Structure 1
C-alpha cells in the first residue's frame, strides 16, 4: 500500500511468482520464528512510521482506504492473515470445507479482546452483518457479497438472518458462499472481514471513534493514543494469542502530510521507515536515494487512475472521456514525475495478474486519436469548440506527488487538446467524501488489490451505486460477465470472461489509468521482519530491531 529490483522483466517475474503462490494455504499456527534467537534484544523495540493523514475510519466495517487499513492490520486480525504471499490461519485455528466448496466451518482459537472479553464466533457474525446492513453505509459491503445473500441483504432484498454466516457456538463459525470462491481464504484476511467486539459495539455505538477502553481490538497491537490529525500510538497487546512472536513493544504513527518533511524526519532519526506503504517519499529524492543504494523498490498489484464522473458534463460523453484519456503521456509521468520505476498503465488490471496488460488496450500519448475523439464528442454534445465546454476541474487529495502529476496532466491537456483545466485539492477525509458523494468532475484515486484476483479491480465498477465506484458508470454486459465469471469453474474460460469485461471498461473509460504502482521506501538497516505484501499493504507483527 519487495526487494530492490531494476529490470522490468525481473520486477514482473518475481512478483508474478509471489502472487501465484497466494492460492496455497499454510496451516502453520506459529507465524514467525524467534528472530532474536530466544533472547530479549537490548535494542529498543519501538517503531516510528508516518501514515500521512487522519484515517478515514478505524471501524473495520467502515474503513475503505490504505491509511485506515494500515492501522487496522496492526490492531485487528481476521480468520486468516497473509504472510509470505500466502494466507495463514490467524484467529481461526482450523477449518473444514464442504465437498461442493461453498460451506466453510471455522474453529476459532482461544483469543481475547484487548478488554479481556473472549473473541467469539458471534463477534464475526455481528461484524459481517453490520457491514452488510444498508443503514451503516459501508463502502466495502460488496466485499462480503461472496457470502450467500450478502448482496441481497445489503440491497434490502433479504433479512439479516438470511445471510450465510452463522455462529454455531462460541468457537464455531459457519460460512456459506453464493458459489465456490477459490480465493476466499485470502478474503478473510481483509479488514472488512475482521471481527468486532459485539458486546462493546452494541452497548457503545461510537466505540471506534477514539482511543480508550471502548476501543477493543484482537490483533498484535492495541491503540493507546489517537490524537486526531496528529498521531496514533500502538503498544504490544500482551493478551494477543501469539504475543510471543510479537517483538515490537510500541509503534508511533505520525501524521505528516509533507513528503520532504517525512524524509527529513527519517534522515534526522525521527522515523525508522519513510515512504510507502504507510507514507510517501518526495519524487525528486528517488534518483539520489537509488544511487546511494538506500531505495527499496517493489512492484505491487495496484493501479493509479483518474475517475470521471460520468453523470456530469462533459464526461457523460464517452468520446470526451476517450480524448482526455488518450492525451496523457504516461511514459513522461513515470520517468519525469513519479520516478519510482512505475509502469505506464493503459489497462485497469495490473500486469501482475494479466501479464499482457503491460501493453494495454490503447496507445500511450495518442494525441492524434485524442483529437479525433474530442471533435466527435463536441459534435455529439452540440458544441462548436472546446471553448464551449463547461469549466473543468481536476480534483486530488493534498499530496506533493499527486499535485505534480495533476500539474503535468493539466499541461498535457492544454497542449494536446487546447483545454484549460482547473486544479483543486482537499485533505483526504474531505476529498474522499466528495468523491463518494459525486461532487467532482475528474478525481484522482488509486487501487491496491485486496486479494490476488483480477475481479478485485473490475468489480469496483460493477454497480453504479457500488461503494467504491464513484464514477456513476454501469454497463449491463460488463456486470453480467462479472456475475457469470463467479460461477465458471474452468480457469481459462473465467479469465476470458474477465478479459472481455475489462475490454468493455477500456472501451467506455469511466476511468483513465495512468500507471501501475511500485512501493518505494527507505528503512533503518537494523529493522527486520516487516511484511510488505505483493498487494501493497504492510504488517508489523513480525518486525523487530536487531
Structure 2
C-alpha cells in the first residue's frame, strides 16, 4: 500500500503519492489531515465503560477520490484507508502497529514456521451472510490469478505457489497454499518462514470476499455502495464520486460494542486554503497544512508535525528508450534538483531530503541495531557540477544537444507547485533540457503508470509492513509496481535470495537488501529520490484514539471517539 503505513500530510501530497501504499502504500489517507493516534496514552483496544456524550461524528478530508473498493485491485492509500474501516481481515493493526485479532480469534503455527492455522470467529457480512474460511480462499486465489492482473499479487508471494500461479507456471488456483478445512478453520502454507506474516494479514490484499455476492454483482462490483458488502467496523453508506463519502457504524460487526463513532464524513478537497477555511469554520476536525500555512499556525496549540517512513521520488521510465535509458542522463536528473530548497520552502512541513530508496528511522540491522541508512548513507546527492558532467556525457552518447521530457504529477495545489519547482531546477541546471508538465488527478496518474505512458513520474511509497522488503522488492524485473522498465539481474538475485535462501539468516538478508539499494541508486540511478515525508497539521483535541500507522493502512477509526 503502504502503507505504511497510512500515517498526516498535505491534502495534496497524498494524491501525489503512492501509491501504489502503503503503504502502503501508499500515501496518506487524508492528505495530511492528522490525528492524536498513538500519543493518546490510552489502551484503545479496550471498551470504555462510559458512553461519550458528544455526537459521535468525525469530519475529515481526503485529497483524492477512491480509485477502487475492490481489495484485489487496490493499490493506493486512499482505497486502503477506506477498506481498513469497512472490511476486516484475519488480523488488523492495533496500537503500536501490532496485529490484533480480526476475523481470526486465534491461530497456531507449525514448528517449522510454514503452516498457520487460523480459527475464525462467528462474524457476519453486512447482508447477514456468515464470514467463512472460503471467503479468504476465494479472495486470495483471485488476487494471484493472472486473469485479475492485480498489481498487489506480489504481496501474497510468501504463500505457497502464489508466485508460480501468478506467473502462469501453475494454472490450478487450488494449488495456492490456502485451504478452508471447514467454515471456521483456514490453513495457510508458506514457501519459507516469514516472521512478519501476521502483519501481512492485516493488509488489504489479504481481505476476504464473499464469492456469491461478488459474482452476483458482475462488473458492477465495488462501483457503488450497493455493490458492496462489509465486515468491518463501518459500512460505506454514501459515495458521491469526486466529492466525498460517508461511513456509518456497522451494527453487524462482531465487536460493534467497542465502536464509538456513529458517522465519518469525508470530503474530497485538493486546495489547502479551502481545507483550512473548513477547519476554521468548524466543518472539519483536522487539516493538513501546506508550506504557506505552517508559519501562520505553528504557535497554535492544536498544531503538530510528524515524520513518516514514506518516500517520494521520480520514476524514470526506461521502457521508452531514448534519453532515460541512458544512466548518465538519469544521474544528471537525480543530482540537478536542490531538494533542501524543496523541503524547506515548497513543503515546510517536517519533510526531510531523501537520497535513498529505503527510508531513515524505519528498520534496523538485526545484529548491530544500526539504522538501514548507516551502511551506505546517501546516493546521488545534489551537485550541479557533477550533474552537468553526467548530462554532457549522456548527450554525447545520444548524439544530441537537447532533450525534451515530460513529468507526470498530481493536480493538487502543492503538487502543481512542486512540478513547477522541478521544471525550473532541471531546465536551469541542465542546458538543452526542456521539461513539460502533465498534472492529472490521482486515479488518472495510476492509470498512466500502469500503462507506462510517462517519461518521469512524481510518485511515492509508504510501507505495507515493517521490513525493508516492502521497499526493496518494488523494483525487481517485471514487478507489479516496477512499471518503469527497470531490470538488473544482480538486483533481482539479491532480492530473491533475501526472500528465500537467506530467510533464515537475518543479518545476511538485511545486508543483501542494503547492497540491492546500492545497485539501484549508485550504479543504475533507476530512481531519483526526493524527500521523506513529514506532515504538519491542526487537529481538534476532542478527537480521541484515532490510531495512525506507519505501514499498511494509515488510520484506524475502530476505537476512535469524540469527547467534548
Match of 1:116 among 107, 110, 128: 128
Q: 2:222: which partner in 1? A: 209
Task: Give TM-score scaled by structure 1 length.
Answer: 0.90
Kindly indicate whether residue 295 of structure 2 is the aligned counterpart of residue 287 of structure 1.
yes
Q: What pairs up with 1:483-522 in 2 under 5 angstroms?
A: 483-487=496-500, 488=502, 489-506=504-521, 507-522=523-538
Asked if the contact 1:45/1:544 (under 8 Å) is kept, the reply is yes
Give me the whole-angstrom Cα distance separating, in 2, the residues matched to 1:3 and 1:374.
37
Mapped partners of 1:72, 1:445: distance in 2: 22
Aligned residue number for residue 460 of structure 1: 474
| Secondary structure, aligned partner of 1:32 | coil
- Any idea what SS the aligned residue of 2:470 has? helix
In 1: Cα distance, 2:485 partner to 2:327 partner: 13
Answer yes or no: is 1:56 the counterpart of 2:67: yes
Q: Give the 3-state SS of the residue equivalent to 1:470 in structure 2.
A: coil
| Structure 2 equivalent of residue 8 of structure 1 | none
> Measured at CA, do residues 511 and 393 of structure 1 come closer, stay the same or move farther in structure 2, by a change above 3 Å?
same
Structure 1 range deviating more: 243-252 or 83-92: 83-92
Per the alignment, do residues 126 and 298 of structure 1 end up closer, same or farther by CA in structure 2, a change over 3 Å counting? Answer: same
Partner of 2:27: none
Other-structure match for 2:560:
543
User: What corresponds to 2:28 in structure 1?
Assistant: none
- For the pair 1:100 / 2:108, whether they are aligned, the reply is no
Distance in 2 separating the partners of 1:67 and 1:434: 18
Partner of 2:452: 438
Q: Within 1, Cα distance between the matches of 2:462 and 2:303? A: 21
* CA distance in structure 1 between the aligned counterparts of 2:342 and 2:147, rounded to whole angstroms: 42
- 1:32 corresponds in structure 2 to 45
CA distance in 1, matches of 2:64, 2:253: 27
Larger mean Cα displacement after TM superposition, 171-180 or 201-210: 201-210
List gaps (5 residues or longer) in structure 1. 5-29, 276-280
Match of 1:136 among 130, 134, 148: 148
Contact 1:2 1:297 in 2 (8 A): no
Q: Is the 8 A contact 1:115 1:213 kept in 2?
A: no
Decide which moves more: 498-507 or 348-357.
348-357
| Deviation of 1:509 (Å) | 1.9
Distance in 2 between residues matched to 1:254 and 1:309, nearest whole Å? 34
Higher relative contact order (CA 8 A, sep 6+): 2
2:334 to 298, 304, 325: 325
Distance 1:115 1:433 in 2: 32
Q: By how many angstroms is 1:356 displaced?
A: 5.1
Which residue among 40, 44, 54 is the counterpart of 1:43?
A: 54
CA contact (8 A) 2:302 2:540 kept: no
Displacement, 1:59?
0.8
Sort the Cα spacing of 1:519 and 1:88 in 2 relative to 1 into closer, same or farther, 3 A: farther
* Equivalent runs, 1:125-274 vs 2, <5 Å: 125-158=137-170, 159-206=172-219, 208-274=221-287
CA distance in 1, matches of 2:87, 2:7: 24
SS at match of 1:446: strand
Does the CA-based 8 Å contact 2:68-2:223 persist in structure 1? no
**CA distances 1:341-363 after superposition (whole Å, capped 9, x unpaired):** 11111100001225353873325
Tell me the secondary structure at the aligned position of residue 298 of structure 2: helix
Q: Which runs of 5+ in 2 are unaligned?
A: 1-5, 10-42, 365-370
Aligned-pair CA distance for 1:2: 7.9
Say which SS state the counterpart of residue 444 (structure 1) adopts: strand
Aligned residues: 509
1:527 aligns with 2:546: no
Residue matched to 1:411: 424
Give the Å deviation of 1:109.
0.8
Question: 1:7 aligns to what?
Answer: none
CA RMSD of aligned residues (A): 1.8
SS of residue in 2 equivalent to 1:372: helix
Q: CA, structure 1 residues 130+361, in 2 after alignment: closer, same or farther (shift >3 Å)?
A: same
User: 1:426-479: per-residue Cα shift (whole Å, max 9, x none)?
Assistant: 111111101110110001111000101111101111132x22212111111111
C-alpha deviation, 1:283, in angstroms: 2.4
Q: Say whether the 8 Å CA contact 2:8–2:536 is kept in structure 1.
A: no
The answer to whether the 8 Å contact 1:394/1:443 transfers is yes
- For the 8 Å contact 2:491–2:520, the answer to whether it is kept is yes
Q: Is the aligned partner of 1:296 residue 2:301?
A: no
SS in 2 for 1:107: strand
Measure the CA separation in 1 of the matches of 2:45 and 2:332. 51
